[in-house]
Amino acid sequence: MVLAVSWRAVPADREQVEKERFAARENTLRIENIAEERLRESDEQRRLFEQLDRLERKIDLLRERLEGHQETSGTPFRKVWMRLSESRAVLRLDAGEDEDLPGEGLVALALLLPGDPSPVELLARAGGRQELPGGLLAVNLDFEVVGAGDRDRLARMLFQLERRSRSVKQ
């Protein structure tokens, strides 16, 4: 499958900081989810107003996250062929595209899933490279830290793709 992917290498001395940043992001998402649950308990009119407000904030947040991701990582999203599961991915790149993707070490990834406006962010450990025919390079990535919500989104997308491939075969 071809997905839009962005990555940046995490230096060994910054791995713990990156994991803590990821955990802080997860805590923020949990707090937002709790706040959303409390809003659902309100009356209908207030709920509609709050939904509109949340949608506006999500659009603004998405725009900020995509712009911020590109600024902090220095790498834009690129369309990359990949084999994907819930715990690992294999990226196939042109040999010249991998300037900041290590053969080993921690990598911060962001995946844009089909039909999903916000990227799935995760930390993965690069487990080696393999040269392929035609000037291609395969990079193996084992996911180390995936947020709970992101893990669910990834699992749903993989399930839908599996269902589609089964219906095409029949």
Across 101-112, average pLDDT: 78
Half-sphere exposure of 85 (CA within 13 A, CB side): 8
The pLDDT confidence band at residue 168, using thresholds 50, 70 and 90, is: low
Per-domain boundaries in the chain: 2-165
Question: Is residue 28 pLDDT above 60, yes or no?
Answer: yes
pLDDT of residue 151: 82
Do 51 and 42 form a contact (C-beta atoms < 8 A)?
no
Question: What's the CA gap between 79 and 60, in Å, rounded?
Answer: 24
Give the tens place of pLDDT for each residue, 36-57: 777 776 666 676 778 878 878 7
Q: What pTM was computed for the model?
A: 0.56
Q: Which residue has the higher pLDDT, 98 or 161?
A: 161
Q: Is the pLDDT of residue 144 over 80?
A: yes
Higher pLDDT, 73 or 92: 92
Place of tokens 């180390």: 144
Q: Is the pLDDT of residue 98 over 60?
A: no
The whole-number pLDDT of residue 79 equals: 65
- 2, 58, 110, 117: CA torsion to nearest 10: 0
Model confidence over 87-96: pLDDT tens digits?
888 888 776 6
- Tokens representing 86 are 């819930």
